[in-house]
Structure 1
Amino acid sequence: MGTVYTQLSMQERRRIEGWWHAKVPVAEMARVLKRHKSTIFREIKRNYWADDAFPKKYAGYFGMAAHQITQRRRYTQRKLIRHPELCQRV
């Protein structure tokens, strides 16, 4: 069987946010959180917030927003929600 993977928690996302703004290297974040550095890079890339209506100085990675984006993404990808006919058969 494969390795067990756990999602990043809200506390981990908040720590990443603080380190990101403090310009801590991703390798160091990964070492402290005991995660692979690609996990941290992927998290920042997927949940980086930017809006054209605001100046670029307001763009960045924000832990609370990242958690909400992830929850919304996971919610919309559930198979039973995407396929109501499958839900009726279950």
Structure 2
Amino acid sequence: MGQNYQQLGLRERIEIEIWHRRGCSTQAIARHLGRSPSTISRELRRNAKRTKQWRGPYDGERAHGLARRRRWRDARFKLARRPNLRDLVRDQLAMGRSPEQI
């Protein structure tokens, strides 16, 4: 791939919200932020879904909170999903290494 990807930040999500409310296309928003159009499209699709509690349009602050929650939740189960990593960590702990060293 060769590309370095960084997560969208709160400021970028607010910019997406502003440009989206103005009716700009995902292409225009992507150009403005220097991001891929697929990143903007994915962000809008993921975080603008209507739920029982949320009926409004895309909201940058809400989207940022949802993304942080998803990242946190995903990290909790990393060892459960990756048996090789789990075995490595278990072996390293058995050898007396601390979690910080691992």
Alignment of 1:76 with 2:73, yes or no, is yes
Aligned to 2:57: 60
Q: Deviations over 1:51-90 (max 9, x none)?
A: 3467xxx421000000000000000111xx2247x47645
Unaligned ranges ≥5, structure 1: none
Distance 1:76 1:22, change over 3 A: same
Larger radius of gyration: 2
State how 1:13-28 maps to structure 2 within 5 Å: 13-28=13-28
- Using the size of structure 1 for normalisation, the TM-score is 0.79
Superposition RMSD in Å: 2.1
- Using the size of structure 2 for normalisation, the TM-score is 0.71
1:49–1:62 CA contact under 8 A, matched in 2: no
Count, aligned residues: 84
Runs of 4+ in 1 over 2 A off after TM superposition: 51-54, 86-90
- The structure whose RCO (Cα within 8 Å, separation 6+) is larger is 1
Select the structure that is richer in strand. 1
Identity value in percent: 33
